[in-house]
């Protein structure tokens, strides 16, 4: 009887160990796919869009042989291309149609259209949406809220990133490195021409913008033309665009119009994936 009990205990222990080994923890991620995604993102973040094998592998923390295999697999589908002379890799042409599809779905201009037209109609001003690229503010969309007055700013026109109210709104939320780079360049149009730039005044305006979500221009850029602006953030919660409400409204409208503009900017930012 004692031997039978001992035998039963041994069998139960073996069965428990065996069942434990058979249990598998489900992992919803494929390491190779995850590493391929990290590789593409690394190339995308690189300013030159060209990286060598060693640099790529060091950045995402994989062995060179594994990185080489992933790069070859991606190259088969033209997701990356290799420069035979420099031995560097860059993003490939197959990403273009994929990016276009994503752009159609998440295009800030498309997301903003209805809200900006409503804002323009409500305030009887012109509402502009500008996209930031290479220190320029490109007017991607313009909506007029009144037929009697239209501001002569053309769609696709570009303005400097520091220009007037949108310059203050954008600059307020850039990281310190980009702020310093722009200041060092010396092309500062926050208050009109370069000679009108006032550093102390700008500091106060930036504090106000970060607290209230909008900035103002009281005819400094063009006498008689006033504007309020608010920043728009993308899915990385990085400032990527800006809204400008521009017209001939008086200073007593700044707070009301500024708050409306900031509210619309926050809504568009959330639609674009920003975590605000």
Q: What is the CATH number of the domain that holds 211?
A: 3.30.450.40
φ, ψ of residue 252 in degrees (nearest 5): -70, -10
- For range 110-114, the mean pLDDT: 85
Instruction: Give the integer Cα–Cα distance in Å for 129 and 16.
Output: 65
Both 207 and 81 in a single domain? no
Q: What is the CA radius of gyration of the chain?
A: 27
Using the predicted structure, report yes or no on whether residue 177 has a pLDDT greater than 60: yes
Residue 232's alpha-carbon distances to 108, 113, 138, 160, 219, in angstroms, are 9, 14, 14, 17, 23
Token pair 């990281």: residue = 175
Instruction: Give the integer Cα–Cα distance in Å for 111 and 105.
Output: 9
Q: Could you tell me if residue 120 is inside a domain?
A: yes
Both 56 and 123 in a single domain? no
Both 249 and 123 in a single domain? yes
Both 264 and 128 in a single domain? yes
Q: Could you tell me if residue 15 is inside a domain?
A: no
Q: Could you tell me if residue 1 is inside a domain?
A: no
Q: Could you tell me if residue 168 is inside a domain?
A: yes
Please, are residues 123 and 260 in contact by the beta-carbon 8 Å criterion?
Answer: yes
Residue that terminates a domain, selected from 43, 71, 96: 96
- For range 238-255, the mean pLDDT: 94
Count of domains forming the chain: 2
Both 55 and 148 in a single domain? no
Both 122 and 224 in a single domain? yes
Instruction: Give the integer Cα–Cα distance in Å for 271 and 67.
Output: 35
Local confidence band at 166 (pLDDT 50, 70, 90 cut-offs): very high
Q: Could you tell me if residue 124 is inside a domain?
A: yes
- For range 187-191, the mean pLDDT: 94
Q: Could you tell me if residue 80 is inside a domain?
A: yes
Domain span at residue 263 reads 106-271
Helix (H) or strand (E) holding 209: helix 199-212
Q: Minimal CA–CA distance to 52: which of 85, 89, 80, 84?
A: 89
DSSP-derived 3-state class of residue 250: coil
- For range 119-144, the mean pLDDT: 91
Residue that terminates a domain, selected from 96, 123, 140: 96
Q: Could you tell me if residue 101 is inside a domain?
A: no
Both 38 and 168 in a single domain? no
Both 49 and 186 in a single domain? no
Using the predicted structure, report yes or no on whether residue 245 has a pLDDT greater than 80: yes
Local confidence band at 230 (pLDDT 50, 70, 90 cut-offs): very high
Q: Could you tell me if residue 242 is inside a domain?
A: yes
pTM: 0.62
Both 122 and 81 in a single domain? no
Token pair 């109609």: residue = 121
Local confidence band at 147 (pLDDT 50, 70, 90 cut-offs): low
Instruction: Give the integer Cα–Cα distance in Å for 174 and 194.
Output: 20
Both 79 and 199 in a single domain? no
Residue 217's alpha-carbon distances to 101, 163, 186, 232, in angstroms, are 37, 10, 20, 18
Both 112 and 156 in a single domain? yes
CATH of the domain at 70: 1.10.10.10
Instruction: Give the integer Cα–Cα distance in Å for 60 and 9.
Output: 49
Both 53 and 72 in a single domain? yes
Span of 142-151, 190-199, 255-264 with lowest mean pLDDT: 142-151
Instruction: Give the integer Cα–Cα distance in Å for 92 and 118.
Output: 40
Residue that terminates a domain, selected from 72, 96, 120: 96
């Amino acid at each position: 009887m004692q031997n039978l009990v001992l035998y039963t205990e041994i069998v139960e222990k073996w069965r428990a160990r065996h069942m434990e080994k058979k249990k598998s923890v489900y992992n919803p991620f494929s390491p190779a796919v995850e590493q391929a995604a990290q590789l593409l993102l690394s190339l995308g973040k690189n300013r030159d869009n060209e990286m060598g094998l060693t640099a790529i592998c060091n950045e995402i923390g994989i062995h060179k042989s594994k990185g080489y295999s992933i790069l070859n697999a991606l190259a088969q589908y033209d997701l990356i291309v290799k420069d035979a002379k420099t031995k560097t890799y860059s993003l490939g042409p197959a990403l273009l149609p994929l990016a276009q599809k994503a752009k159609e779905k998440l295009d800030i201009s498309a997301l903003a259209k209805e809200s900006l037209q409503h804002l323009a109609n409500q305030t009887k001003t012109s509402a502009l949406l500008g996209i930031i690229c290479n220190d320029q503010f490109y007017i991607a969309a313009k909506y007029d809220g009144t037929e009697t007055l239209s501001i002569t700013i053309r769609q696709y026109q570009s303005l400097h990133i520091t220009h007037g109210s949108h310059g203050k709104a954008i600059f307020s939320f850039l990281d310190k490195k980009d702020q310093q780079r722009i200041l060092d360049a010396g092309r500062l149009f926050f208050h009109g021409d370069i000679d009108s730039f006032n550093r102390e005044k700008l500091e106060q305006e930036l504090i106000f913008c970060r607290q209230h979500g909008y900035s103002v221009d009281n005819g400094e850029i063009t006498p008689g033309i006033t504007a309020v602006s608010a920043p728009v953030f993308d899915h990385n919660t990085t400032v990527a665009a800006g809204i400008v409400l521009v017209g001939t409204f008086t200073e007593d409208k700044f707070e009301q119009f500024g708050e409306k503009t900031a509210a619309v900017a926050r809504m568009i930012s959330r639609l674009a994936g920003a975590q605000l």
